[in-house]
Amino acid sequence: MLERRPQLSIACVLLLAPACLTPIDEGAADSGGIMTVGGGDTSEPTAADPDDGPADAESNADSAAEADSGEPSDSGSDDASTTGSPGDPPTAPDGYYVEGNTVYDADDAPHRFLGVARPSLEWNPVGESLSGQDYQRMADWGANTVRIALNQGFWLAGSSVHDAGYPSIVDQQIGWAHDAGLDVILDLHWSDRGDFGVTPEQQRMADANSITFWTEVAGRYKSDGHVLFELYNEPHDVSWQVWRNGGDSGEGWNAVGMQQLYDTVRATGAENLVIVGGLDFAYDLSGLPGDGELDGYNIMYASHPYDFGNKQPSAWPADWGFVADTHPVIVTEFGSFDCDATYSSALLDYAAERQLSWTAWAWFPGGCDFPSLIEDWNATPSATGTIVRAALMNN
């Protein structure tokens, strides 16, 4: 989601002043949308050793995968292998694969990813109120998946906002999520136009630094089949040609296309599922038929329906729903900007009818206009959260 995020000072985001890192009591109710930076868990995440973490940006895909020594919890061995039945696409260890419009698990059973989106690591390199208990509360709602938003600037050495501990923080989230029984979608949410001097935020499209990001991230997690890669959050205001193959962004910098990002992931040896969002802030998939589809395997396509006038339920089949006839579709964000849950209820009904996967925005107490699923870190559901929780519990 582009439009809504808590406001942090430049000092907090860029300088990470200690005064900004005030822990939040997990049991405390939300303070009306004003956020305090800090983790709700009392344990300290392990700082990244300078010799560990992502490989150098100049390394090729194979060496990037080998150079990193950091391991997320429960990720398995360093070497990716294939699982599944003979004839299935290559599959990450204990992971998922795609045939037709269906995702199958390692036991060859059809699978839907159902859960919530967890923001904060896109604007804060240590996140906000992140803890194992937080992920367990998602699982208690019935979720089997969490989508975690990331910032390539925090990840990449050389960026003006690079944080050496960021990969270890991401490792920790994956470990906590897996401990709660959740699959993890890693979503490249914010980027920098290919210029490390630019403060990362949502851009029109991915950039050259996104190639380095996915080389390192895919190489790091390729041995964990329960990690999925969402290549870029909300592409917008570029042509379908640029969306797929890259080119002029229209803003004086070169965009990298979804095919290039996909190829980058596969070049590391990662066979994990890849998620590809469309245009119009990931809502529109109408350009896919024919040349718009990516070449490759284990691909899901994503849409972000929000309650705007041109994105009402009657438009969904033609704008993006038709893709579910031939490919797996996952709605990785949806919601309304008021306290009315009607739109989200319609989306959940449509997803159930079409057997779509989804992750609802957002597991963060920011108020109705965020929009939020929870009212506090005790996971008290909002109006939308109430229907999302019911849908999760019924699956």
pLDDT of residue 52: 39
pLDDT of residue 290: 78
Query: Structural domain boundaries of the chain?
Result: 41-393
- 251-302 pLDDT, tens digit per residue, is 999 999 999 999 999 999 999 999 999 999 999 999 999 779 999 999 999 9
Helix axes 208-221, 258-267, angle to 10 degrees: 40
Query: Is 64's pLDDT higher than 90?
Result: no
pLDDT of residue 87: 66
pTM score, two decimals?
0.81
Mean pLDDT for 146-174 is 98
CA distance 201 to 189: 8
- 327-384 pLDDT, tens digit per residue, is 999 999 999 999 999 999 999 999 999 999 999 999 999 999 999 999 999 999 999 9
Question: b/e string for 294-313 if b means 16 or more Cβ within 10 A?
Answer: bebbbbbbbbbbbbeeebee
Label each residue of the chain as H, E or C. CCCCCCCCCHHHHHHCCHHHCCCCCCCCECCCCCCCCECCCCCCCCCCCCCCCCCCCCCCHHHHHHHCCCCCCCCCCCCCCCCCCCCCCCCCCCCCEEECCEEECCCCCEECCEEEEECCCCCCCCCECCCHHHHHHHHHCCCCEEEEEEEHHHHCCCCCCCCCCHHHHHHHHHHHHHHCCCEEEEEEEEECCCCCCCCCECCCCECHHHHHHHHHHHHHHCCCCCEEEECCCCCCCCCHHHHHHCEECCCCCEEECHHHHHHHHHHCCCCCCEEEEEHHHHCECCCCCHHHCCCCCCEEEEECCECCCCCCHHHHHHHCHHHHHCCCEEECCCECCCCCCHHHHHHHHHHHHHCCEEEECCCCCCCCCCCCCECECCCCECHHHHHHHHHHHCC
C-alpha distance from residue 383 to each of 10, 106, 149, 389 (Å)? 33, 36, 23, 10
Say which CATH class 41-393 falls into: alpha beta
